Structure 1
Amino acid sequence: MRTILLAALAAVSISTGALAQSHGHSDQGAHGGRMQDVVGVHAELLVSERNLTVHLYDEAGKPVPSAGYTVSALVGAGQARQVVQLAPGSENTLTGTAPTAPARGAPVTLQVKNPAGRSGQARY
């Protein structure tokens, strides 16, 4: 019985460690948006009316300059899909405007390319 208990505790410890190592984010960022990891930064997405804003942070939560990043967003699904190009703004911010306001809760996929040329996707 003791061996089974120790094995179970070891399995829990290993799985908890694996979760702590995971870099996927479902938590909120400094501005109340959802966070996801993409190409080595944490990207916080905010959608307000037709405006999309992405804030970039490093692992320590410090702002990462947006200069040199290119971001496009695929907003919505099916016939309601829109592509929005985001441009670097001040400090760690990229912004773009959708042709029409997306439906509340519409899925958003960001395609991010960092200044070094690495690219990746984040889904919200």
Structure 2
Amino acid sequence: MRRVAIAVAALLYVMPAWAQHSHGAKGPNGGKVEDVAGVHAELVTSGTTIMINVLDEDNKPISVKGFSGSVLIVSGGDRETVTLAPSGDSSLKGEAKKAVAGNAAVTLMLKTDKGKTGQARYTK
């Protein structure tokens, strides 16, 4: 019984931290936002264009100078890796060979200017 009480207390302690990060929430540009490599990354697609907007904890744009990344797009039997490059001050951009389908799974691999790396998965 004591273990259950400790487990419940631990969950109550960490729940506010979970509430701060709503994975898959809509970002300021209408895309889904995920936490990756210590930043928020918002995925926005339009046709063949893939845009990752890089945001701070308050969803404010941050500089992508020194950032790099790529996305793996999987739709049905199709798989494509797209390299992302800085585009403007706070975005990484790439072009796919085909339009990104509505049922696509997109996996982002991101490296920050400080060398921190991470992955995030989005479903369209």
The amino acid of 1:73's aligned partner reads: V
The amino acid of 2:115's aligned partner reads: G
Whole-Å Cα distance in 2 between the matches of residues 31 and 17 of structure 1?
32
Please list every run of at least 4 consecutive aligned residues from structure 1 whose deviation after the TM superposition is greater than 3 angstroms. 13-17
**TM-score normalised according to structure 1 size:** 0.83
State the Cα deviation string for residues 67-102 of structure 1 (Å, max 9, x = none).
111010000156300001111011111111001113
User: Greater share of strand residues, 1 or 2?
Assistant: 2
Q: Does 1:18 align with 2:44?
A: no
Aligned pairs (5 A) from 1:89-100: 89-100=87-98
Task: Mark the runs of 5 or more structure 1 residues left unpaired by the alignment.
Answer: 1-6
Q: CA deviation at 1:14?
A: 5.0
Task: Mark the runs of 5 or more structure 2 residues left unpaired by the alignment.
Answer: none
In structure 1, the partner of 2:71 is 73
- How many residues align? The count is 118
The amino acid of 1:32's aligned partner reads: G
Q: Aligned in 2, Cα 1:19/1:26: closer, same or farther, shift over 3 Å?
A: farther
Alpha-carbon RMSD: 2.3
**TM-score normalised according to structure 2 size:** 0.83
Q: Do the aligned partners of 1:112 and 1:121 also contact (CA within 8 Å) in 2?
A: yes
Aligned with residue 105 of structure 2, among 93, 104, 107:
107
Percent pairwise identity: 39
Q: Which has the larger radius of gyration?
A: 1
